[in-house]
Amino acid sequence: MNKNIAVIRGDGIGPEIIEQALRVLDKISELYGHTFRFTDVDMGGCAIDKWGNPLPDEMLEKCVKSDSVLLGAVGGNKWNDVPSNLRPEKGLLRLRAGMGVYSNNRPAKIWKQLSDASPLKKSIVDKGIDFIIVRELIGGIYFGEHKTENDTAIDVLKYSESEIERIGRIGFETARKRNKKLCSVEKSNVLDSSRLWKKVMHRLAKEYTDIELSDMLVDNCAMQIVKDPSQFDVIVTENMFGDILSDEASMITGSIGMIPSSSLGATKCGLYEPIHGSAPDIAGKDIANPIGTILSAAMMLRFSFDMEKEAASIENAVSAFLDSGYRTADIMSDGMTLVGCRKCGDIIVEKIKK
C-alpha cells in the first residue's frame, strides 16, 4: 500500500521522538512492502518562528490532504508571551477543527513489565489493564453556549442524535477490532442529553449484534476504573466525561511517555500523537521516551490504514524491548538497562518482526 503521512515534529522533544517513530515506520514498510511518504508540516512554536503563525493555511492543507497525520508535540516557554491567538496550542486546536476529528481514542494499557509503575495495588494491576476510551471531541458542554450574567454563569450541554450516532459508531467499530465489549458511559439518571445518548447507543447496538453493549453511570465508571479496570474493553462517552475519565485512566498505567492517542473524524484520515507535551525540561538531551509516539504510529496503521498485523508487529517490538530489560529514564527501575531516546528507537526497530 502507498500512504502519504503528514509529519509534525513540533517543538521541544517533538523532533527526537518523531524521528524514532519514522524509523519504525520505515522498517514496517521494508518488511511488509508498503510505501510511506512523509511530508513535513510546520506547526506550533517552530511555525511561529518561521511563518509568524502556529499553523499557516498551507500547512493545514497538507494535513487535510494527507492519508493521516503524525504529531510529536508543540509548545514551550519561549512562546509564552506571544498573543493568545498565536500560541502554539492554537495551532493544535485549529488542526483538530480543520481535520474535523470528533473522536479521540486513548488507550489505557499497562505493560506487564511496568506493573510496578502503576499507583494501583498489585492485586488489581495483575488482573490486567487494557482498554480504550473513545471520547466525543468537538461537541457537548465545551462547545455549547457559555455566558455569565451578573451572579449567574451558564454553560449549555447539547447533543444531537447525529452527533451521538457518529461517535457511537466509532465506539462499536473500535470494539469490533478488539474484544467486542463496549461500555457506554453517561448520566442518564439526571441528564436529558445522557438519556438521548443511551437511546442512540441501544439503537446502534441492533446493527452491531456481535458487540456486547453495557451502560454505566459516569460516577460509577470513575470508581470502577480504579476498582477493577480489567472489566473494560472499550468505553464510549461524551466530551467532558471522556476528558476526566481519560486522565484518570492514563494515570493508572504509569508513565505519560508510554501512552499514544488517535483522533478521527468522518474519514480514515486521523491525527495520531502521544498524550504528553513537548517536555522542554528534557528537550535535546536524548533522554525522552519515544514509545508513546511509536505506539501512536501503530494506532495509525491499525485505525487509518487497516494494517492490523503491522500495528501488532510494532506493539510486539515494544514489548520485546521491555522484556529485554531496557528502560528510558522515565520508566527506569533497579536492575534494568538505561537507554536514551535514539537507542530506544534502535532497539525497537531491530526487534520488529513480520
Query: Of 258, 273, 265, 295, which Cα lies nearest the Cα of 99?
Result: 265
**Choice between 137 and 211, CB closer to ligand NAD:** 137
Check residue 348 for interaction with ligand NAD (CB under 6 A). no
Residue type, 229: P
Nearer to ligand NAD, 41 or 74 (CB): 74
Restricted to residues 91-150, the positions that interact with ligand NAD (CB under 6 A) are 92
Query: Contact at 8 Å (CB) between 84 and 75?
Result: no
Q: How many CB atoms are located within 10 Å of the residue 18 CB?
A: 27
Q: Which of 32, 142, 177, 343 is catalytic?
A: 142
Q: CB under 8 Å to 168, separation ≥6 — which residues?
A: 184, 200, 201, 204, 236
- The residue among 229 and 257 lying less far from ligand NAD, judged by its C-beta, is 257
Three-class SS state of 130? strand
Mark 253-272 with x for binding to ligand NAD (rule: CB under 6 A) and - for no binding. Answer: ---xx---------------
Q: What's the min distance (Å) between Cβ of 46 and ligand NAD?
A: 12
* Residues ≥6 apart with Cβ < 8 Å to 130: 107, 108, 109, 110, 230
Binders of ligand NAD in range 307-336 (CB under 6 A): 330
Contacts of 300 (CB under 8 A, 6+ apart): 5, 68, 70, 262, 270, 272
Residue 325: CB minimum distance to ligand NAD, A: 18
Catalytic residue at 326?
Answer: no
Closest by CA position to 287, among listed 241, 346, 248, 330 = 330
Residue 142 bears catalytic tag: yes
Q: Check binding of 86 to ligand NAD (CB under 6 A).
A: no
By CB under 6 A, the residues from 279 to 308 that bind ligand NAD are 279-282, 288-289, 292
Task: Choose which of 273, 294, 349, 351 interacts with ligand NAD (CB under 6 A).
Answer: 273
Provide the binding-site residues for ligand NAD, judged by CB under 6 A.
13, 17, 73-76, 89, 92, 256-257, 273, 276-282, 288-289, 292, 330
